[in-house]
């Protein structure tokens, strides 16, 4: 299994809603990431989890709350979002950085989020 699976594929939510994005991989990768991608822009890093611990938070507003319940799962909890948060949210994973021979980043297909 060499896939990163994201659900849902599409999500429409109101500004008062609470929703969660889910990401799953079974490649034994210990680094997982959330990216946000706006139209015609490259993906922007939001969070990095390394060995289930949050290692990087790129000054993301608190209305986005990541969670890594185990080494295969990564969630992004959403609450009180704004219309400008509408974007493609991508999850990615990579093997432990110390292993030079297998360093690859795998992306999921993304969740297209629309905030109304």
Partner 1 sequence: QKEVEQDPGPLSVPEGAIVSLNCTYSNSAFQYFMWYRQYSRKGPELLMYTYSSGNKEDGRFTAQVDKSSKYISLFIRDSQPSDSATYLCAMAGYNFNKFYFGSGTKLNVKP
* Residue 69 touches partner 1, criterion: CB under 8 A: no
Stretch that binds partner 1, among 17-25, 61-69, 75-83, 104-112 (CB under 8 A): 104-112
Cα 7 to Cα 34: distance, rounded to the nearest angstrom = 13
Binding of residue 28 to partner 1 (CB under 8 A): no
CA–CA gap between residue 10 and residue 32 (Å, rounded):
21
- Cα–Cα dist 40/65, whole Å: 25
By CB under 8 A, residue 73 contacts partner 1: no
Separation of alpha carbons 32 and 14, rounded Å: 27
Binding footprint of partner 1 on the chain (CB under 8 A) = 31, 37, 41-43, 45, 48, 50, 55-56, 88, 90, 94, 97-98, 100, 103-110, 112
């Amino acid at each position: 299994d060499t896939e990163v699976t994201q659900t849902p594929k599409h999500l429409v939510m109101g500004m008062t809603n609470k929703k969660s994005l889910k990401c799953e991989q079974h490649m034994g990768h210990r680094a997982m990431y959330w990216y946000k991608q706006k139209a015609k822009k490259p993906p922007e890093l939001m969070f990095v989890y390394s060995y289930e611990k949050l290692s990087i938070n790129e000054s993301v507003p608190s209305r986005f709350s990541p969670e890594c319940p185990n080494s295969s799962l990564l969630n992004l909890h959403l609450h009180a979002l704004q219309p400008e948060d509408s974007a493609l949210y991508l999850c990615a994973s990579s093997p432990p950085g110390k292993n030079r021979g297998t360093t690859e980043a795998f992306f999921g297909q993304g969740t297209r989020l629309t905030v109304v």
